[in-house]
Amino acid sequence: MDPIRIAVVGVGKIARDQHLPAIAGNSAFSLAATVSPHDPGVEGVPHARSLEELIERGPAVDAVALCTPPQVRYDLAVQALRKGMHVFLEKPPGATLGEVGALSSRADKVGATLFAAWHSRFAAGVAPARAWLAERRIDSVSIVWREDVRVWHPGQAWIWEPGGLGVFDPGINALSIATHILPRQMFLQSATLEIPANRAAPIGADIQFRDTAGAPIHMDLDWRQTGPQSWDIIVETDAGTLKLSNGGAVLTLPSGVEHNEDLEYPGLYARFATLIRGGRSDVDVAPFRLVADAFLRGHRKIVEEFHD
């Protein structure tokens, strides 16, 4: 079977750190081109400054991976779907729920694959955590996602703009795990969003969710954490405590600790290939809906200005 010719669109941090190595490591794909307005791309691989330019001048591609900031993703996805290309959307899948819904309908109409990727769901501990929790009574959940924005998002102006999500940019990864491992649907009850006086997006958030059986789910998000960082989900159950740490990579059960190999992006590309070969899409907006609800229902508290 011929490899799927793919173009990586938006050559920034995540494209270089994860997408290019994952594509290089998966024989179902061949990197046909890169697209980025300023970044020069990869030696020996055709490069275009815009998706329009790639579509006009070639080379031909079967699929695109959109690794841009979310605010520009819809227009790029529409251009690609118009040409019948399969589309991989980095998380979050767009800037609004409505545009993701519109993309989903368009992909169905043209018979192309649309994949809303949630990389954290492919972290090593997530699948075994989901299996273990399926049989348990959930008593309470605590999500603690505290990191230093200056370390992880230096100079990323888009992340502070409307549609950039602020601290929910990492926080949505926690929600992508929680919505996947918890056996019941969760929904938002209340939230406080801390927004720096000079920015449009939150730097911290305190959120109370609950599941449909009434179990409380608390989320503590903070971008001002220096020193040790936390990406933890702790679930209290009738059979003891489950802890997922390091963003889902390490699973601790009452019986002990499981460490497995990190396969997030290789897992995403294996899934994308399976979806394309099977003529299917995968667009789960559950994590994105919870974030939208936090903006819809949250109390806004203005806090100290943030400067990079």
Would you name the residues annotated as active-site residues? 91
Spatial CA neighbour of 217 closest among 151, 141, 150, 153: 141
Nearer Cβ to ligand NAP, position 12 or 266? 12
Beta strands at 114-116 and 138-146: parallel, antiparallel or unpaired: unpaired
What tokens does 299 get? 């109390």
Nearer Cβ to ligand NAP, position 22 or 235? 22
Residue 294 interacting with ligand NAP (CB under 6 A): no
Number of H helices, E strands in the chain: 10, 15
Residue 14 interacting with ligand NAP (CB under 6 A): yes
Query: Quick one: 214 exposed, middle or buried, by C-beta within 10 A (0-12, 13-18, 19+)?
Result: exposed
Do residues 160 and 285 lie in contact, with contact meaning Cβ atoms separated by under 8 Å? Answer: no
Residue 125 interacting with ligand NAP (CB under 6 A): no
Query: Could you tell me the smallest distance in angstroms from the CB atom of residue 161 to ligand NAP?
Result: 12
Place of tokens 């605010």: 71
Nearer Cβ to ligand NAP, position 72 or 234? 72
Place of tokens 């169905």: 108
Nearer Cβ to ligand NAP, position 68 or 237? 68
Residue 163 interacting with ligand NAP (CB under 6 A): no
Residue 109 interacting with ligand NAP (CB under 6 A): no
Which listed residue (4, 70, 247, 252) binds ligand NAP by CB under 6 A?
70
Residue 156 interacting with ligand NAP (CB under 6 A): yes
How far, CA to CA in Å, does 42 sit from each of 34, 67, 202?
Answer: 7, 15, 34
Spatial CA neighbour of 175 closest among 49, 58, 294, 10: 294
- Of 37-45, 108-116, 142-150, 217-225: span binding ligand NAP (CB under 6 A): 37-45
Q: How many residues does the chain have?
A: 308
Do residues 241 and 251 lie in contact, with contact meaning Cβ atoms separated by under 8 Å? Answer: no
Residue 183 interacting with ligand NAP (CB under 6 A): no
Residue 65 interacting with ligand NAP (CB under 6 A): no
For the four alpha carbons of 127, 129, 130 and 132, in that order, the dihedral sign comes to: positive
Residue 91 interacting with ligand NAP (CB under 6 A): yes
Residue nearest to ligand NAP (CB): 12
Nearer Cβ to ligand NAP, position 90 or 194? 90
Residue 169 interacting with ligand NAP (CB under 6 A): yes
Residue 13 interacting with ligand NAP (CB under 6 A): yes
The span from the CA of 124 to the CA of 84, in Å, is 33
Tell me which DSSP letter residue 50 carries.
Answer: S
Query: Could you tell me the smallest distance in angstroms from the CB atom of residue 264 to ligand NAP?
Result: 9
Residue 245 interacting with ligand NAP (CB under 6 A): no
Q: Give residues in contact with ligand NAP (CB under 6 A).
A: 9-15, 35-39, 67-70, 72, 90-91, 119, 156, 169
